[in-house]
Amino acid sequence: MLNAQDNELMCRVGPGTPMGEVLRRFWQPVLISEDLPHPDCDPKEVRLLGEDFVAFRDSDGEIGFLEALCPHRRAPLFYGRNEEHGLRCIYHGWKFDAAGACVDMPSEPAQYEFSKKVRPIGFPTREWGGIIWAYIGPQDRVPELPELEYCRVPAEYRNLVKYNQECNFVQATEGDIDSSHIGFLHTRLDQKTAPASKEMLWRVNDQAPRWIIQPTDYGIMLAAQRNAEEDTYYWRINQWLMPYYTMIAMDLEQKRGHGHIWVPVDDEHTDVWCVIWSPVEPLTQAERDGILGGPNPHISSLDPSTGKLRATKSNHFLQDRHVQRTQTFTGILGVREQDTAVVEGMGAIADRTKEHLGTSDSAIIAMRRYLVNSAKAFVEGREPQEPYDGGLYRVRAWSYELSRNIDFMESDKVRELMGTMVV
């Protein structure tokens, strides 16, 4: 259980809030590169940490990330003309370059040079790993980009999809670090008799994993132990990286990576980035297609025109009670729809004072403590250190079958495996 004060401290992300200011010390993923597909394309509206912005790609391909409203009369720049190396407001023609400087002011006499008196309204941007990043924090403290593995592999080795979820970023994130729920929420009823893999059978047979929680310089390593064979344990080691990155253990071959980014739009909305990648080879078309289609899609109801799910609280996430009785634990199609149903169902910001947490919630408790302590440290004048060392993010999640005689925290074998996590 979290007290009401700490819950507020952890969840509020707007300007001037402690958590909001901690988050503003990091680069923020704001768009997939294809959202701005070519020079002088249509601009995009972006809402981030309770503030509104507009993004555009200029004539040279440079990314501009500007305050949403023109500093003249506060007209929305989203409606502007993207032309000749700048975004021009449709109200009086003021034009801003990718850095946010006013470079033309046709509504004012040239001799007054009034444009030079208007402060820039832009923010630093980077384009890397198929992602457009923006930094909206103090300009004298620009951090390093996180050196996530999927940003460093070739484009054909990764796939990015994102959608918007109607709840706070913390409870959205919690699903990814809750290893016990996968034995329920995401299961088929025939998985014990016809499992797709031995790992799936282990997860279904042992629904109460034991945890080892290891704080790190980047966040938390989350190791869940399950019974495998008579003399072995099945270990799934997930990662939570400050402030909102998760990496999920895939199969035992370690040829694929899977994770999410949970970017706070505001206190009550989250942009969910779904990432799959391979460290060794291009993804197949079937893998890409399986994110949004197939018999067990990761996302089954994405509406590209809105960036939201068609399955919502108002239609009960298209739950099919017959399917729930005969085929799947939930009757809801789509892994993300299943998770979204439960986290949005908690309310926009979950009331954590009414929870009853058990040992299976150890990872969630650790993440909440990390976030709350980071916000409290900021209030006391201590800046977060994670954003200023991009190399901290060169880790991956992994899974392994180990002898029951091995001490996970002491074994040379485990230390050797830990070395493979650093990429």
pLDDT digits (tens, 9 = 90+) for 171-199: 999 988 887 787 788 888 887 777 778 88
Residue 46 has pLDDT above 70, yes or no: yes
In a domain, residue 31? The reply is: no
Q: What is the pTM for the complete model shown?
A: 0.94
- Give me the domain span that covers residue 113: 36-141
Q: Are residues 166 and 106 in the same domain?
A: no
Q: Are residues 91 and 230 in the same domain?
A: no
User: pLDDT > 70: what percent of the chain?
Assistant: 97
Q: Are residues 241 and 97 in the same domain?
A: no
Q: How far apart are the C-alpha atoms of 239 and 1, rounded to whole Å? A: 23
Higher pLDDT, 65 or 362: 65
In a domain, residue 159? The reply is: yes
SS3 75: coil
Residue 258 has pLDDT above 80, yes or no: yes
In a domain, residue 23? The reply is: no
Higher pLDDT, 13 or 210: 13
In a domain, residue 10? The reply is: no
pLDDT score, position 74: 95
Q: Are residues 194 and 90 in the same domain?
A: no
Q: Are residues 74 and 188 in the same domain?
A: no
User: Of the residues 141, 161, 176, which one is the last residue of a structural domain?
Assistant: 141
Higher pLDDT, 414 or 172: 172
pLDDT score, position 109: 80
CATH number of the domain that 303 lies in? 3.90.380.10
Res. 118 pLDDT band, cuts 50 70 90: confident
Res. 421 pLDDT band, cuts 50 70 90: low
Residue 415 has pLDDT above 90, yes or no: no
51-86 pLDDT, tens digit each: 999 999 999 999 999 999 999 999 999 999 999 999
Q: Are residues 191 and 96 in the same domain?
A: no
In a domain, residue 21? The reply is: no
Q: Which of 46, 53, 144, 158 is nearest to 96 (CA)?
A: 53
SS3 261: strand
Res. 207 pLDDT band, cuts 50 70 90: confident
Q: What is the mean pLDDT of residues 187-214?
A: 83
Residue 201 has pLDDT above 90, yes or no: no
Higher pLDDT, 312 or 211: 312
Q: How far apart are the C-alpha atoms of 276 and 261, rounded to whole Å? A: 12
Q: How far apart are the C-alpha atoms of 243 and 28, rounded to whole Å? A: 10
Q: Give the single-character DSSP code of 188.
A: B
Residue 417 has pLDDT above 80, yes or no: no
Residue 416 has pLDDT above 80, yes or no: no
In a domain, residue 369? The reply is: yes
pLDDT score, position 419: 64
Q: Are residues 186 and 311 in the same domain?
A: yes
pLDDT score, position 80: 97
In a 10 Å sphere around its CB, with 0-12 CB exposed, 13-18 middle and 19+ buried, how is residue 74 labelled? Answer: exposed
How many domains does the chain contain in total? 2
128-169 pLDDT, tens digit each: 999 999 999 999 999 999 999 999 999 999 999 999 999 999
pLDDT score, position 298: 94
Look over the chain and give the mean of its residue pLDDT values, rounded to a whole number.
Answer: 93
Residue 203 has pLDDT above 80, yes or no: yes
User: Of the residues 108, 125, 141, which one is the last residue of a structural domain?
Assistant: 141
pLDDT score, position 181: 84
pLDDT score, position 228: 92
Tokens of 389: 């060392």
In a domain, residue 28? The reply is: no
Q: Are residues 118 and 158 in the same domain?
A: no
Res. 418 pLDDT band, cuts 50 70 90: low
Q: Are residues 162 and 71 in the same domain?
A: no
Q: How far apart are the C-alpha atoms of 106 and 24, rounded to whole Å? A: 35
Pairing of strands 125-128, 131-134: antiparallel
Q: Are residues 177 and 254 in the same domain?
A: yes
Q: What is the mean pLDDT of residues 39-60?
A: 98
In a domain, residue 115? The reply is: yes
User: Of the residues 111, 141, 171, which one is the last residue of a structural domain?
Assistant: 141
Q: Are residues 171 and 238 in the same domain?
A: yes
Q: Are residues 134 and 220 in the same domain?
A: no
Count of beta carbons in the 10 Å neighbourhood of residue 315: 10
Higher pLDDT, 113 or 306: 306
Residue 396 has pLDDT above 70, yes or no: yes
Distances (CA, A) of 406 to 309, 311, 410: 44, 45, 8
